[in-house]
């Protein structure tokens, strides 16, 4: 696995791994304990259940540990969500228009394209509108997705740190050719991007 194409993708992957790791530890721990107890406290061996009601230490442990775990999941999830919502000052803004069944991109100088070209290491803001039904703008490699709702302007923010071509998909069923509603985001060096932006093609 290479380096994640955005810092945000890295934090999303971290939250995912963290939650899966905690879940696996709990699953294995609980299952192992359960199986062990089934054999150890087998009634046929003469064991009688013990009343643990009022055991303060036990109650504190099973309240505090799960609470801390759940709060830590919330903390990591929320901070990586904030990265998407706190758009830095003066981003490079591209207008996105979604319609059945393609995306159009319009740049500040009026240039239009059906592929999203962006410069590397710049804050990119998408201002997204729909001409017809609801769509969703999804860049799986960047771990970002936002609905495009008819009659509303929605925003998406990212900062690419790796050159390359990444898939863009519509992620909201929008009719017959929804499944073909794909394009690319192409991350270029800034001078290549400027050349493209000023050029005719």
| Site for Cu ion, rule CB under 5 A | 135, 170, 174, 181
Q: How far is the CB of 81 from Cu ion (least distance, A)?
A: 24
- 15/144 with CB nearer Cu ion: 144
What HEC string does 2-29 produce?
Answer: CCCCEHHHHHHHHHHHHHHHHHHHHHHH
- 12/181 with CB nearer Cu ion: 181
What is each CA distance from 85 to 20, 33, 79, 118, in whole angstroms? 25, 42, 10, 19
- 59/132 with CB nearer Cu ion: 132
Q: How far is the CB of 191 from Cu ion (least distance, A)?
A: 33
What whole-number distance in Å separates Cα of residue 154 and Cα of residue 137? 10
Q: How far is the CB of 87 from Cu ion (least distance, A)?
A: 24
Q: How far is the CB of 54 from Cu ion (least distance, A)?
A: 59
In which element (H, E) is residue 172 found? none
CB-CB contact of 64 with 97 (8 Å):
no
Q: How far is the CB of 99 from Cu ion (least distance, A)?
A: 8
Name the E strands within 114-153.
Answer: 116-119, 124-130, 135-139, 144-148
| Residue 16 backbone dihedrals phi, psi, to 5 degrees | -60, -50
- 101/158 with CB nearer Cu ion: 101
- 29/175 with CB nearer Cu ion: 175
């Amino acid at each position: 696995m290479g380096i994640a194409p955005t810092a945000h993708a890295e934090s999303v992957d971290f939250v995912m791994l963290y939650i899966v790791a905690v879940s696996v530890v709990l699953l294995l721990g609980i299952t192992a304990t359960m199986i062990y107890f089934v054999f150890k406290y087998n009634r046929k061996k003469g064991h009688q259940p013990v009343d643990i009601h009022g055991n303060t230490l036990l109650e504190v442990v099973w309240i505090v540990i799960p609470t801390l775990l759940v709060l830590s999941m919330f903390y990591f999830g929320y901070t990586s969500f904030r990265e998407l919502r706190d758009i830095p000052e003066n981003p490079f803004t591209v207008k996105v228009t979604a319609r059945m069944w393609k995306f159009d991109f319009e740049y500040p100088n009026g240039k239009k394209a059906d592929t999203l070209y962006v410069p590397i290491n710049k804050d990119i803001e998408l201002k997204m509108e729909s001409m017809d039904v609801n769509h969703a703008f999804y860049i799986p490699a960047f771990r970002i997705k936002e609905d495009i709702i008819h009659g509303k302007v929605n925003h998406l923010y990212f900062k690419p740190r790796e050159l390359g071509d990444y898939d863009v998909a519509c992620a909201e069923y929008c009719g017959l050719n929804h499944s073909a509603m794909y394009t690319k985001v192409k991350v270029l060096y800034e001078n290549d991007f400027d050349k493209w932006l000023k050029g005719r093609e």
